[in-house]
Amino acid sequence: MTFAKRTRLLSLLALLLAVGLVAVACGDDAATTTTGAATTTTGAAVAPTKVASVAGGPHPFFDPWGPGTNDAVRDFGLAGGTYQFPPQWELTAQNNMVETLVAQGYNAFVIFPGDATGTNALLGELLAQGIPSIAGGGCTSEPSPAAFCLATDVGNSAYIGTRALIAAMGDTCTAADPCQIVHIASRLVDPNTQARIAAVDRAVGETNGTVRVLQHLTDSDDQEAATEKVGAILASSGAEIDGMISVAYVGSSVAATLLRNLGDKRIKMIGIDDDPEVLRAIEDGFLVGTMSQNPYGQAYLGSWVLDKIRHGCTVKDGAPFLVDSGTFLITADGANVGDVPSTAIAEYVEKRVNITNELKASFEASYLSCP
Amino acid sequence: MRRPNFITIWDRAGLAVVVLSSWAVFAIFAEGFTSKFNVFSVGRLVSILIVVGLAQTVVMGIGDINLSVGAVGGVVAMFFGWLVAPTQLGTAGLASGAPQDVTALPGLGINWQFAFILALLFGAALGFINGWLIVRSGLHGFIVTLGTMGVFSGSMYIITKVKAFRNLPEGFLGFGKMKFFDLLSPLVFIMLGVVVFLFFFLRSTTPGRQMLASGANRRAALASGINVNRIVISTHMLSAALAGLAGIMLAARIGSAIPTIGTGGGGDWLLPSFAASAIGGTLFTGGSVNVVGTMFGGLLLGTVENGLNLLRVPGFWVQMITGLVLLLAVILDRIRVVAVERSRMGAAQ
Amino acid sequence: MRLNLRSVVRAEAFVLFIVVLLGATALSLVSSQFLQTFNIYVLLYNVALSTLVAFGQMVVVATGGMNISLGAIGGLSAVVAAMLMEWHGWPLWLIIPVVLLGGTLMGFINGFLTVKTGISAFVITLAMASAYTGASMAITNANPIYGIYESVRSLGQARIGVFPWPAVATMVVMAGLATWFHRMTSGRQVLALGGNRTAAELTGVPIGRRVIQAHVISGLIASIAGFLTMARVQAGAPTIGNAWLLPGFAAIVIGGVLLEGGKITIVGVLLGVAILELIANALAISHTDPFFVTLLQGALVLVAVILGQARRRMMAKGRVRPLGALPSTEPRAE
């Protein structure tokens, strides 16, 4: 190829790319809805609240954060709201995204902590600029610059779920022939995972040896990894396993699918979250139940609380850091599993709305002191 | 030599021109791009990225690859955290009745400047393991560091049980928050220092030149009496020390030493380190290193995503467009190279 | 007979074969579960999919390049296939060719840009990887698409005893690659240009076209792997392919493929994958504490390659190995 030809070709490619990019950028400018609010003003009056909900990475659990944030903007008259997630599960990528949003004028943040400890530094810097934040979906470690942690108490949820699983396995477990369970968990390096492992161990410890943990399966929160890991343990130890407890969203969905494929209703399982596959498996009897969380409420209530704080409310003395956004067991018919109360699939959405509304009604009185 | 002036300038400054023009575009169209806060936060982020890139650049100079940059960064940051964290876990600032933080570990509480030196030496020691294994086994660095990556991170996970070192000394933390002229982080100056050091080291010192010579042609280097094995080991030590430095810089930036530094849990330093080097013009084949190029490569990577986010490009598309912009940048740079080649050919005829 | 045996022992893949054999024997002695039908089935399934990924990488590595976007192509293929099923209801006979064509096209873009711009394949495929992944994320909004057809679901589970049906695809790809690299001119030319580009150019190898071909085949294999992974996990998830890069490289390097290009070994790669999957299976069977998994995986990869290297050195001592002799057909000795 001659140089002239190559230069021409390269220039053409460059031009095409550039035109394409400009077209995309312009198109998106029009498509993005930004409520025309004045960005940060330095006046005495409080600038209108623009809230951003930032997930830790791409993950279906956070999907309801979008409508949660948007509904809060609509219901509480905020100046703007957005739901964003960084392209990878990486603290630096998340920090970068949050800082970009600050530069765009967002002044209140609901953040899933990319790292329980590491995110605190970012939240501290936000607070120094007068930007309040709430840890959503998971807690930052205390003491934290975040006003609240609006999340499932992960330890408690795993504990209740394991209790339900133990009850579901019932009398077949004896000290002489203990039942063995597998715990499917998310990322090993996530501090929440450590809290959950401890909680599962605690519930199992209370059985006085009639149940034991065969394995904690970590890093099982994406389809491929979960299929391989859960598949491998079912393949290599299926006969030894009596129950499974999953505290990972995708892990639950994958395990539900695998049990369905195996046609195995002997192994009892409790999942987490309301992925469609999980709910279908409960209806068909492959899962005992699933632990509900309330991501919509986290973003919705979080946005509202942040607006309150920006308008002068402060955290009440002695208010707890963690406010449980709603943890309960969902089963097919809503009957108790042992002594763990549950809600039927048909009613759980309504129950979650009720929890959100109740929390909102009592939040100001219980946790805030407002002028 | 009809049109040499323009071309010569372009050749020298090619990537810089691409970076600066992208900044100009963002400055005009992206609201907040030039705000002091944005410049500060991007500068801090990019500095770490560039040091990671340089850790890769030096091994690429000898025609090798270091997959363990992220693992070494994380392990060194944790080692540093262990050295400087207080011996007792504090309870100050905890809400009443809150349980003691179960995710924190106690450390040794030694002076942080001293610990900084120790941690870099520790990083170099990890690099020695990489280099020694490569030299003794005769295997490619790719596969050796793929193995040591797991060994380093895995050992750290086992020892720390993936808990974090918090409450690092105030002096060190101040370093992460400090602002010069309300605009620049000290991390930027550390990065510039590393760039200047490497630039002169590789260009003007004997060990630096020997490094590049071994990368360009190992046999010729051996024949001319260079101890190639020693060069390979010391290059890996340099690379690991730089990766460790980046890890400590990140610890300063996030205020604690956490086990996910460098490996992120999903994303990690690996691809950005290669990208910064490759965009900057360092070749995988070795022998040619462009330290300043890596700096501009890192700047480009770090600012494009920031600029696109500020342009309010919807989140999902940012990643896609970042890739295309990257492509545009390297193609523009390539046009430069071809144009320069052509002008040289023309001049020669 | 004697000669034959010696050439088998000297074949590079032999030591890998011994490692696989020893590993499997040890596992079956340690655990009664290992040899059970379902476990072997899962193991073979993992090997089949991972082998496809490794082959996809090997084809581009043969040219001296690499394909960072392999997983991104697989992920986008899976997402597009699931999208066509759930949202558009296309018939399967149309979806499969469209998806494979899509993979081919993405491979072509990679190859075309690499050749025409003269920029290294690493940089091009890195940039395209984020473009393809971005598209997957944009299509799915990070949510898996579940509405895949029942026929695809059952394909993902189809097996005869220990043999997973999707492994047929792997065998077809394997046969295709063996034919291409060892029997066809274009494949041989790819190896030639990977070994020495200048020499290949002088002998009239159309470098550009061959490099593009390698990328196209890589893209095609990636989309097959993506489609099969989707069938297996029963969801079109944008995370499919996320973790293909390093295991793929590890398998081909253990197998004996030169990263510099010019030398491939199909049987070696298959055995390299088998070693990695045996390690993973052993970790599952032994219920290893999760904290030790990362360390053990790294350490075992190191041990495997260092042993292989030690053997290679021993063989090299005293006798010069024929260069470029590829174990193209797996020799069998009785």
* CB within 8 Å: B321 and A24: yes
Average pLDDT of chain C is: 86
Chain A residues with CB under 8 Å of B268 CB are 90
| Alpha-helix runs per DSSP H in chain C | 2-10, 12-30, 37-61, 70-83, 92-117, 121-140, 150-157, 167-183, 185-195, 197-202, 207-233, 245-255, 266-285, 290-316
Q: Is B100 on the interface with A (CB under 8 A)?
A: no
pLDDT band at B12 (very low <50, low <70, confident <90, very high): low
Q: Which residue did the predictor score with more confidence, A244 or A32?
A: A244
- B window 236-255, beta carbon within 8 A of C: none
Q: What is the pLDDT of residue C317?
A: 64
Q: Are residues A61 and A106 in the same domain?
A: yes
Return the number of CB contacts < 8 Å for B and C: 142
Residue of A nearest to B176 (CA): A121
Q: Are residues A121 and A163 in the same domain?
A: no
Distances (CA, A) of C56 to A197, A356, C216: 38, 49, 10
Closest CA to B289 of B196, B198, B217, B223: B198
Nearest by CB: A233 against C113, C229, C284: C284
Q: Is A258 on the interface with B (CB under 8 A)?
A: no
Q: Has residue A179 been placed in a domain?
A: yes
Distance CA A264, CA C57 (A): 37
- Which residues have CB under 8 Å from B330's CB, separation 6+? B279, C117, C119, C123, C124, C127
> What secondary structure does DSSP assign to B55-98, as a single string?
HHHHHHHTT---TTHHHHHHHHHHHHHHHHS-SS---TTPPTTP
SS (H, E, C) C287-334: CCCHHHHHHHHHHHHHHHHHHHHHHHHHHHCCCCCCCCCCCCCCCCCC
Residue C307 has pLDDT above 90, yes or no: no
**CATH value at residue C254:** 1.10.3470
Q: Has residue C332 been placed in a domain?
A: no
pLDDT tens-digit series, residues C153-191: 888 888 888 899 999 999 999 999 999 999 999 999 999
Q: Has residue A24 been placed in a domain?
A: no
Q: Are residues A286 and A169 in the same domain?
A: yes
Nearest by CB: B162 against A18, A85, A188: A188
**CATH value at residue A254:** 3.40.50.2300
Q: Is C105 on the interface with B (CB under 8 A)?
A: no
The torsion of the CA quartet A287, A290, A296, A297, rounded to 10 degrees, works out to 160
| Number of separate helices (H) and strands (E) present in chain A | 11, 15
Domains identified in chain C, total number: 1
Chain B residues with CB under 8 Å of C246 CB are 67, 146
pLDDT tens-digit series, residues C227-257: 999 999 988 988 899 889 888 988 998 888 8
The torsion of the CA quartet C165, C169, C171, C173, rounded to 10 degrees, works out to 180
- Best mutation target, A5, A100, A122, to test chain B (most B CBs within 10 A): A100
Q: Is A349 on the interface with B (CB under 8 A)?
A: no
Q: Are residues A85 and A192 in the same domain?
A: no
Q: Has residue A364 been placed in a domain?
A: no
Q: Is C280 on the interface with B (CB under 8 A)?
A: no
Q: Are residues A176 and A285 in the same domain?
A: yes
Q: Are residues A227 and A284 in the same domain?
A: yes
Q: Are residues A210 and A89 in the same domain?
A: no
* CB within 8 Å: A235 and C43: yes
Q: Is A215 on the interface with C (CB under 8 A)?
A: yes
Nearest by CB: B264 against A4, A88, A104: A88
pLDDT band at B174 (very low <50, low <70, confident <90, very high): confident
Q: What are the structure tokens assigned to A19, written together?
A: 């035109």
Domains identified in chain A, total number: 2
What is the mean predicted confidence (pLDDT) over B224-235? 90
Distance from CA of A336 to the nearest CA of C (A): 30
Distance CA C137, CA B107 (A): 41
Q: Which domain holds residue A140?
A: 50-152+295-326
Q: What is the pLDDT of residue C34?
A: 85
- A window 1-30, beta carbon within 8 A of B: 3-4, 6-7, 10-11, 13-14, 17-18, 20-21, 24-25, 28-29
Q: Which domain holds residue C234?
A: 12-316
Query: A175-184, B323-332, C43-52: which has the highest mean pLDDT?
Result: C43-52
Q: Has residue A346 been placed in a domain?
A: no
Among A59-68, A273-282, B250-259, B280-289, which stretch is predicted with the lowest mean pLDDT? B280-289
Q: What is the pLDDT of residue A40?
A: 41
Average pLDDT of chain B is: 83
* CB within 8 Å: C290 and A257: no
pLDDT tens-digit series, residues A90-141: 788 888 889 888 988 899 999 998 888 888 888 998 998 899 999 998 888 8
Q: Are residues A163 and A262 in the same domain?
A: yes
Q: Are residues A174 and A127 in the same domain?
A: no
Nearest by CB: C157 against A58, A232, A261: A261
pLDDT band at A154 (very low <50, low <70, confident <90, very high): confident
Tell me which residue has tokens 């041989």: C188
What is the mean predicted confidence (pLDDT) over B90-100? 47
Chain C residues with CB under 8 Å of B293 CB are none
pLDDT band at C323 (very low <50, low <70, confident <90, very high): very low
Distance CA A165, CA A185 (A): 15
Residue of A nearest to C35 (CA): A236
pLDDT tens-digit series, residues B194-216: 999 999 998 889 988 888 888 88
Q: Are residues A287 and A199 in the same domain?
A: yes
Q: Is B271 on the interface with C (CB under 8 A)?
A: yes
Q: Has residue A215 been placed in a domain?
A: yes
Chain C residues with CB under 8 Å of B262 CB are none
Strands (DSSP E) found in A55-151? 80-84, 108-111, 133-136, 149-151
Closest CA to A55 of A29, A28, A93: A93
* CB within 8 Å: B37 and A87: no
Q: Is B266 on the interface with A (CB under 8 A)?
A: yes
Return the number of CB contacts < 8 Å for A and C: 105
Nearest by CB: C142 against A58, A257, A276: A58
Q: Has residue C5 been placed in a domain?
A: no
Chain C residues with CB under 8 Å of A254 CB are 233
B144, C249 Cβ separation under 8 angstroms: no
Q: What is the pLDDT of residue A334?
A: 82
**DSSP character for A292?**
E
Q: Has residue A355 been placed in a domain?
A: no
* CB within 8 Å: B315 and A85: yes
Chain A residues with CB under 8 Å of C33 CB are 235-237, 239
| CB atoms inside a 10 Å sphere around CB B9 | 11
**pTM, two decimal places:** 0.85
Residue B94 has pLDDT above 50, yes or no: no
Q: What is the pLDDT of residue B170?
A: 85
Q: What is the pLDDT of residue C327?
A: 37
Distance CA A277, CA C146 (A): 8
Q: Are residues A299 and A282 in the same domain?
A: no
Q: Is A338 on the interface with C (CB under 8 A)?
A: no
Q: Is B146 on the interface with C (CB under 8 A)?
A: yes
What is the SS3 assignment for C145? strand
Q: Is A98 on the interface with B (CB under 8 A)?
A: no
Q: Has residue A111 been placed in a domain?
A: yes
Residue of C nearest to B137 (CA): C306
Q: Is A87 on the interface with C (CB under 8 A)?
A: yes
Residue of B nearest to A17 (CA): B328
Chains that touch C (3 or more CB pairs under 8 A): A, B
Beta bridge pairs of residue B184 = B180
Closest CA to A138 of A244, A57, A81: A57
pLDDT band at B99 (very low <50, low <70, confident <90, very high): very low
Nearest by CB: B158 against C126, C254, C295: C295
Residue A326 has pLDDT above 50, yes or no: yes
pLDDT tens-digit series, residues B29-52: 888 888 888 888 889 889 999 999
Distance CA B163, CA A208 (A): 29
Q: Has residue A303 been placed in a domain?
A: yes
Domain boundary among A292, A312, A340: A292
Chain C residues with CB under 8 Å of A223 CB are 144, 233, 235, 237, 239-240
Query: B268-282, C15-29, C79-93: which has the highest mean pLDDT?
Result: C79-93
Q: Are residues A222 and A233 in the same domain?
A: yes
- Best mutation target, B319, B325, B333, to test chain C (most C CBs within 10 A): B319
Q: At CB < 8 Å, which residues of chain C contact A?
A: 31, 33-34, 36, 38-39, 41-43, 45-46, 113, 116-118, 130, 133-134, 137, 141-144, 146, 157, 229, 232-235, 237-243, 280-281, 284-285, 287, 290-291, 294
Q: What are the structure tokens assigned to A69, written together?
A: 């944030």
What is the mean predicted confidence (pLDDT) over B254-260? 85
Q: Which residue did the predictor score with more confidence, B284 or B148?
A: B148
Distance from CA of A370 to the nearest CA of B (A): 20
Distance CA B71, CA B261 (A): 8
